[in-house]
Amino acid sequence: MDDIASNIEREHILIYQTRPQDLTEEDWAFLRDEGIINGCGAKTGPFARFRPPCAEFFEANCDWHDHGYKKGGGFWRKFVVDYKFFRAQLRDIRRSDRPWWYRIYLYGWAVLYYLAVTIFGWPSYDLRLWEKTI
């Protein structure tokens, strides 16, 4: 029972009290093991096992996006989380040393990822309108 309570408390601290940039690799691994983040792709539904193209390239962006969805917030915050996800993808593509033609390919997938989460991400977003407590 103490393990469950400590896991819940750690999850609460990592999601609601820690900025994603301050999380360690161990923290990200914990969130992945607990099923809170899953990288790129759907967590549930018919596409849960589907890994989209370029998932490895965008993995860190997807983890941050999952963190933002778990943290949740009001209606408009979802659009902020989605937009920050898109901007992070574009930044990583610009910084990439991939050939120009592959970066164009990545830009196309970044746009599709952004559209997909904006349109279909509502079931995964924690649309809370009050403060969460444990």
Distance CA 47, CA 105 (A): 22
Task: Assess if residue 110 is contained within a domain.
Answer: yes
Distance CA 103, CA 52 (A): 16
Question: How confident is residue 39, by pLDDT bands cut at 50, 70 and 90?
Answer: confident
Task: Assess if residue 15 is contained within a domain.
Answer: no
Stated pTM of the model: 0.87
- The total number of structural domains that make up the chain: 1
Residue 59 CA to its chain's centroid (Å): 9
- Mean pLDDT lowest among 66-75, 90-99, 107-116: 66-75
Task: Assess if residue 67 is contained within a domain.
Answer: yes
pLDDT tens digits for range 91-102: 999 999 999 999
Task: Assess if residue 6 is contained within a domain.
Answer: no
- The whole domain housing 96 covers 38-124
Q: Would you say residue 66 has pLDDT above 70?
A: yes
